[in-house]
Amino acid sequence: MILGIFKSRAWYRYSSEPLAVFGLGLLFVIVFLAVLAPVLTPYPNHAGRFVDFGNTSRPPSLQHWFGTDLVGRDVLTRVVYGYRISLVIGFVVLGLAAPLGVTLGLVAGYMGGRFDTVIMRITDVFLAIPALVLAMAVLGVLERTLINGLLALAVLWWPWYTRMVYNQTRALRHEEFVVAARVVGASHLHILFREILPNLLPSVLTKFTLDLGFVILVASALSFLGLGVEPPTPDLGSMVAEGATYQPDMWWLPVFPGLAILLVVLAFNLVGDGLRSMFGEGR
């Protein structure tokens, strides 16, 4: 059943891009590590409240491949646990933003008139505010918790889905199959979610994948600015920020989490590009 995927047309087209296959492989490794972090990491207890002042700021060694941090925690362990948070942030943020944005875009594009005006002007306002500034403002007002951070990013992200879906819905609204569904007497709900949405899924899925990388990047940037996940939860952005203070002596502190961010963002981008060419869309 699962192996059947490798015989499908879709896989054939996806696999014609070697980089996309590489990205997918990379992604599998990252997800595998994140999910099995308690089993795979050498010092799982270092992910929480743990201090070992006899073993602080050690450079990479056989015991600690990525070295140890300022309170003696294993950096490798914390990077792998950092992926957990990053992936959760990515999926939760987009899990909130994408359905909201897609639904609003569908309604505005299909219904037109007042729906169009109201929804799209609000969207424009959100799009006009620089993303990071908006997120910083939200986090400045609200308590600095993981939930609020996720909400701030979701608030920031939905307009992009609305805009994209709106434009495509406008193009599909007068397609003959939509007209045919209206003539037959189908409800708006049916037309929006059963007739139009399936035709938009390829581009929504592609954007979703690409955005997972970007959301992780922005979340890291917010953490770097001190607005992200609170310690001691291991977070890649915060780790880079902490390590940045002690340069160039303790290079391993920011470099490994930095590389980890690079790899996950790269993986999502390569997969996203692969999906885009698989669905046959131009740039």
- Residues in touch with other proteins (CB under 8 A): 175-177, 179-186, 190, 194-195, 198-199, 201
Count of Cβ atoms closer than 10 Å to residue 267 Cβ: 23
Task: Decide: helix, strand or coil at residue 74.
Answer: strand
List Cβ neighbours of 100 (8 Å cut-off, separation of 6 or more): 154, 158, 161
State the minimum distance, in angstroms, from the CB of residue 194 to other proteins.
8
Q: In Å, how far are 50, 56, 115, 163, 170 from 192, measured between CA atoms?
A: 52, 58, 14, 16, 12
Q: 263, 17 in Cβ contact below 8 A?
A: no
Residue 112 C-beta: closest distance to other proteins, Å = 13
- What are 246's two structure tokens? 């002690």
* Minimum CB–partner distance for residue 133 and other proteins (Å): 39
Closer CB to other proteins, residue 47 or residue 200? 200
Contact 52, 73 (CB under 8 A): yes
> For residues 36 and 180, which CB has a smaller minimum distance to other proteins in the complex?
180
Q: Name 160's Cβ contacts closer than 8 Å, sequence gap at least 6.
A: 101, 127, 207, 211
Q: Are 152 and 135 in contact (CB under 8 A)?
A: yes
Distance in Å, CB of 242 to other proteins, minimum: 49
Judged by CB, which is closer to other proteins: 10, or 125? 10
Q: Which CB, 54 or 185, lies closer to other proteins?
A: 185
- Nearest-approach distance from CB 158 to other proteins, in angstroms: 24
Min CB(195)–other proteins separation in Å: 6
Alpha-helix runs per DSSP H in the chain: 9-14, 18-35, 37-40, 75-111, 113-128, 131-141, 146-172, 176-184, 188-190, 197-224, 236-244, 252-278
CB of 8 to other proteins, least distance (A): 14
* Nearest to other proteins of 174, 283 (CB atom): 174
The distance from CA 89 to its chain's CA centroid, rounded to whole angstroms, is 7
Comparing CB distances to other proteins, the nearer of 202 and 232 is: 202
Q: Residue 74 or 195: which CB sits closer to other proteins?
A: 195
Distance CA 42, CA 76 (A): 8
